[in-house]
Every structure is written in C-alpha cells, then in structure tokens.
Amino acid sequence: MSGALVTPGRSVRERTAAAVADPDLQAALRNLDRRLRTGTDLARGRPDLRSSAAALRRRTTAELDAHLTRLTEALEEAGAHVHPAPDAAAAVEAVLAVARRHGVRRVVKSKSMATEEIGLAAALAAAGIEVVETDLGEHAVQVAGERPSHLITPVIHKTVGGVAATFRVRTGAEVPGEAESLTRWVRDRLRPQFAAADLSVTGANFAVAETGTLVVVTNEGNADLGMALAPVQVAVVPVEKVVPRLADLAVLLPLLTRAATGQRCTSYVTLVTGPRRPGDLDGPAELHVVLLDNGRRRLVGTRYEEMLACVRCGACLNACPVFRHVSGHAYDATYSGPMGAVLTPLLSGGRRGAELPWASTLCGACTDACPVAIPLADLLVHLRADLRGGDPVAPRPRPARPRSLGAAAWARTWAHPAWYRATTAVAARLGAVVRILGRWSGRDLPPPAAVRFRDWWRRRSCGGGGTAR
Amino acid sequence: MAPAFVRRWRDGPVSAPGRHGGRHTESVRELTEHLRAAGAEVEGPVPAPGAAAAVVELAAAAPHGAVALGAGEHRLEALGVPEALRAAGRELVRPEAADHPARLAAAAVGLTGAELAVAETGSLVLAAGPGRPRLVHLLPDRHVCVVEVSAVRPTLAEALAEIDPRSASAWQFVSGPSRTSDLEMRAVLGVHGPLSLAVLLVG
Ligand code: SF4
C-alpha cells in the first residue's frame, strides 16, 4: 500500500469545520447544484437501465478472476503487454520499467483516479520524468500542487476566478479570468506538450474481456490526442473495470455518462484494441496495460463485494449533503464522498480513512443516486461496526458477546410460540402495569396494544369484518 | 481481408433508404436532434450528387488553412469531394500527413466519414486504419463528418452488434465538439480537440 492513497492530516472533524468556514470554497461548491440530481433522476427515470446494469456488474464481480483471465488473454492476443499489479508499488514499478526502457522524458496524462490512487505522477517526477496532466481541471489541480476534489470535476473546489488566479500566480502569465478564454489559454499551453510526449498514460472506464478492448471516455479529447501522438501508451486499469462482452457497453456507457454529467454520451468514447496496426497512420506502437488489484480482489465474496460494481460516476458525491458542504479535500483521501468513505478503508484494510464512515448522516441520498444501486448507506453502517476490529474484511470469529441474564431469559421465552402467546396475552391485560414498569426503568417502553394483532386477526377471519379497536 | 465497413466504403454509396422504414426516418431525426443538443451543426440529408458542394460549404466556415482528408480516399472520391474542394481553391492534406502532426495541426478542417452513427446517443462512429488517421478529427479546429443515412442505427446496442472492435486499433464514438465542464460545471466547447463539429447527412 502506497502512502499516496491518503495524506496524513488533521481529523475529519477539523477539516470539515475549516471547509464550512471557507467562503471561497462555499461559493465554488454552489456549482454542484448543476448536477445535484443527475444520478437520482436517472435512477428514477430509467429503473430498467439501472437494474440491468446493477445485475450485470454484480454478475461480473462475482466471477472476477475468470473475467480477468479472459481479458488478459484477449489483450495479449491484440498485441498489448499486460502487467498484473497486486499493489500500488508493483503498478508504479511496471510503469517506471516501461518508461526506462523507452528512455521516456515527457509524459502526457489523462485523468485517471487509479493513477492518483497509486501516486503515479509523483513517482514519475521523482524518476526525473516530466508529467503533464492534460484534463483541464486536473491540470489546474496539478499546477496548484493540490489533489482532485471530485471524481469527475477535479477542480470543483474553485471558481473560474480562483482557477485563473492560481494559473496567474504559478505561471506568471497573463491568464484570462473567464471560462471560455481560460479554456483556450489551457488549450494553447498544452498543445506543444502533446506533440513532445514520449509516453501517454491513461486510465480506462471499462475493459472488455471478450475482445481485449479498453474503453476510454472523455469530453475534452485529451486522452485521444495523447494516445494518437505518443509512441507508447500505458493504461492503468483497476481490475473491477472488466466487463464480459462488448454488448454490455450498450447498458453501461449511457448509464455512466448520464449519471456523471447528464450527457447522453460524452464527446469522445474510444474503443482501443491493441497498438497501432500495419498501415495505421498514428496511434501508439506499443500498448501496455497495468491491471491494478491493490486490495480489490479480496473484497470478492465479502459483504463489501458490491462496492466493486462502482463505475466512478460521481453521482453519490453530487447528491451527498456532507460532500456538498465540505468538498473532496475534507476527506483527505483519493476517493471522497460516500463512495470514498466506503472504498478508502476497504482498499487499505482499515489502515486509512477509518473515521470516514462516521462522516455521514446516513440519509441515503447516495444509495438513491447510484446508477448501479450500490447500498452505500448500508455499507457505511457495516463499516462502522467492522472497522472496530481493524481490517473490515479480515476473517475473524464473531466475539461471543456476554448477554444479561434477563435478556437471555427473554430471548429463550419468546423463541417458543406458546410462551410468546401466553406472555403477550398477559401483557395486553396488564397494560397499565407495563406502563408503570416502563417509567420506573427510565426507558421509553412502548405500551402494549389493547388488542393483540393475533386476536384481531382471528376475530376478523372468523367473525368476518371485525376491526381492531 | 478488409473488414466489412471498408468494403462497403470502397464499393461506393450503398444507400438503402427505408431499410428500417419509418423507424429509420425517426432515427435520422433523433440523431440530428441529439448532435445539435451537443453543440454540433447538422446539414441534410442531401442526395449523393449534392454532397460535394455541401462539404465545400461546411468547410468554408473555417477558410484559413488546408482541408485534411481522413475518410478513406475511395469514399470521398466517389462523392467527388476532393475535386470540389480543389475547385473551390482549398489546399488538401493527404491522410499520410499524420506522420507530420504539425501539418495536420495547421489544417483548418479535418474531414472524415462515419462507418456508423447512433441515434440514441447522437454519436458518429469512426474507425482508425489505412487512410483514416485518428488525428484528422482531433487536431484541426473544425471537424466535418460525412454520414450516410443508411449507416444510422437507432440504438447503441444495434451499432455495437455490427462492430468487431478487433478490426481496428481504435474505434471512436464522437458525440459533439471537444468540450469541458470542469469550470464551475458549465459547458465550454473546444478544449483539446476541435472547436466545432459539422455533420453532413447524405442519402
Ligand atoms: S458508488 Fe455509485 S454513485 Fe458513487 S461513484 Fe460509484 S457508481 Fe457512481
């Protein structure tokens, strides 16, 4: 586990308090309203799409290793080099080895949370390689020396003015302060970088096992430019991105883009199968795929397996009342919001982000918004319990919990229908006594109903038409 | 052997209007609507003989610089497009210029032909390959794409069923000009790819 997953910092309580007190951040976060309901509306509007996607993702993760075997074979058949990476360090080393072999000096990167997770940019920089983030938001974050604060919109913690100011300070250039001209400024700044790159690093939104195809989804076209121009491509692909068949994309792609940005389809969806072919005029001569495990495969078969269905759309972040007030940095983790609060402790075996499952009101807005119906709120509750023992997915015997004698006797009595019948009949008659007992114990003991349900039911079905009084 | 889409292109237009009957007309309308919603210009459908003139006109919106060809020469020649562009005084850049990205980047227009189009998602489907570099529709400021009406499919599922991704190193679904919403979650067109996208429906 690399230390890059989370940087140490103050407690989540302090960070959230600071975030709420930051007027610039609060002004920027108001923009989240634009996507407040993308996920929820989709989930309500296309329940058919949601349920088939949810089922498809669960079927796939249940057989994860079989699909990964298939994917590896198909990738190799297409001419790609596959590097299975059990952890972050192995993944970073695989990329560095490729870079060394090709004498790489400049890398263009498109946005990929997996590369954030393994701390790839820092590792490449430490090896003396210049890394340029090319996604507009991610580039702003890189120039500022920060980390992304949202899965889809990395610089959601800043206004346009804030982004322009950062560029001005860091580059000393005249930077326009309005969205359209700022975008052109970034375009002009990055064009030469694409042309000069020796290596492009991308992620993949899906990987098709049947054909060995990587699916790269962007709006800006930055990943496509990098892939077309750089002589070598490395794609860092977390294992749960695998989908069995090409046809599965017909469900998953529209679902991902609608939940993420509300678009029918993003501007660019590229299916990459192998490196450049004879006769091709551009594209990488070599394609490397790093298959990243890093704590994922061990979730299969546990109560947290469902988290592997996540397609990283960000809808749960947009819907979460906590995220909407504090933004991603308060979580101090690669993945933030509800999905980050679940994923961070899971991927790190409880060593990181153990306090995050408590930074939630459990209102369930995330569960409602999730396009693949991951019960995020339930998982947060499970984690609160399981994290007490350290690693939430380590097999451990349930501790025999000592129970009070009274509770034990009560459980034994009500386990038998006859005893249950007898005691509830008495309680119904002695309602007043029970009430007094309740007050005396200092607890809110609800008074027993005057007529038991079973009595009401019997009277109703025999006498015909009797009602409870 | 050449993949099916290449053969179809070489053999010239195989317009089969009414292949899907009324549903097909509906698909063309839906494709147009979704592309426009994403910020693209859509013209046509125009009959094949009028296609060359229409392409010249769409290219004229970006008059300063060459037109880069990236749709496979056979197809564009069948429609008489290169001739018409030359007659209109446009300099042409052959697909092989992808070896010299600077020449492509200096072109004003990248001209492509879609193998398929998807009405449901508003997507043009382009395959990389000989005569069809990926950069042609990425580097120039304007992307002009020719789509045969008979190549429009109603749903993504139907389009995917016709594609074997292994037949090309890259299949690209283009659904609008390059865009971002990284700044305050508001859409801005024209980031790293083309600033504008114009689509010509033929058939
Ligand atoms: S948990 Fe669901 S809503 Fe959240 S990012 Fe993952 S897929 Fe999207």
Q: What is the pLDDT of residues A127-166, one digit of tens each?
A: 999 999 998 989 999 988 888 888 888 888 888 888 988 9
State the pLDDT at residue A469. Answer: 41
Tell me if B8 is assigned to some domain: no
**Which residue of chain B comes nearest to A286, CA vs CA?**
B169
* Mean pLDDT, residues A23-27: 85
**B120 and A264 in contact by Cβ < 8 A?**
yes
Distance, CA of A213 to chain centre? 22
The domain tally of chain A equals 2
> Distances from the Cα of B153 to the Cαs of A39, A215, B3, in angstroms?
27, 20, 19
Select from A298, A322, A354 the last residue of a domain: A298
Give the DSSP H/E element, type plus range, for residue B2.
none
Q: What is the average pLDDT value for chain B, to the nearest integer?
A: 87
Q: Are residues A142 and A265 in the same domain?
A: yes
Give the ipTM of the model, two decimals please. Answer: 0.90
Q: What is the pLDDT of residues A389-403, one digit of tens each?
A: 889 998 766 655 656
* Mean pLDDT, residues A62-81: 97
Question: Is there an atom of ligand 1 within 6 Å of A53 CB?
Answer: no
* Mean pLDDT, residues A207-229: 96
Q: What is the pLDDT of residues B136-177, one digit of tens each?
A: 999 999 999 999 999 999 999 999 999 999 999 999 999 999
A350 vs B75, more confident: A350
Quote the ligand 1 centre to A311 CA distance (angstroms). Answer: 6
**Which residue of chain A comes nearest to B105, CA vs CA?**
A191
Select from A247, A271, A298 the last residue of a domain: A298
Tell me if A25 is assigned to some domain: no
Q: What percent of chain A has pLDDT over 90?
A: 60
Tokens 């991610």 — which residue? A138
User: Closest approach of chain A CAs to the CA of B91, in angstroms?
Assistant: 20
CATH number at residue A95: 3.40.50.10420
Euclidean distance between CA atoms A56 and A288, whole angstroms:
27
State the pLDDT at residue B33. Answer: 96
Tell me if A70 is assigned to some domain: yes
Which residue of A252, A305, A313 sits with most ligand 1 atoms within 8 Å of its CB, as the best mutation to test the pocket?
Answer: A313
Q: What is the largest CA-CA distance in chain A?
A: 91
Residue spans of beta strands (DSSP E) within A229-304: 232-238, 242-243, 268-272, 286-292
Euclidean distance between CA atoms A238 and A257, whole angstroms:
19
Phi, psi of A343 (to 5 degrees): -75, -40
- What's the N-to-C CA distance of chain B in angstroms? 27
The domain tally of chain B equals 1
B13 and B113 Cβ atoms separated by less than 8 Å: no
Q: Are residues A294 and A418 in the same domain?
A: no
> Ligand 1, atom 7: nearest CA belongs to which residue?
A310
Question: Is there an atom of ligand 1 within 6 Å of A104 CB?
Answer: no
- Predicted confidence band at A460 (pLDDT cuts at 50, 70, 90)? confident
Instruction: Write the residue in A137, A180, A208 that is nearest to B182 by C-beta.
Output: A137
Entry field: residues in chain A: 469
CATH number at residue B82: 3.40.50.10420
Tell me if B132 is assigned to some domain: yes
What is the spatial order of strands in the sheet that A268-272 belongs to? A242-243, A206-208, A213-218, A268-272, B170-174, B123-127, B116-118, B152-153
Tokens 């990236």 — which residue? B70
What residues in B contact A273, CB-CB < 8 Å? 165-166, 168-171
Tell me if B3 is assigned to some domain: no
Ranges A235-239, B14-18, B22-26, most confident: A235-239
pTM score, whole prediction: 0.85
State the pLDDT at residue A89. Answer: 97
Residue A28 pLDDT exceeds 90? no
> What is the domain range of residue A449?
404-461
> Distances from the Cα of A219 to the Cαs of A31, A224, A225, in angstroms?
19, 10, 12
Tell me if A108 is assigned to some domain: yes
Tell me if A203 is assigned to some domain: yes
A250 and B157 Cβ atoms separated by less than 8 Å: yes
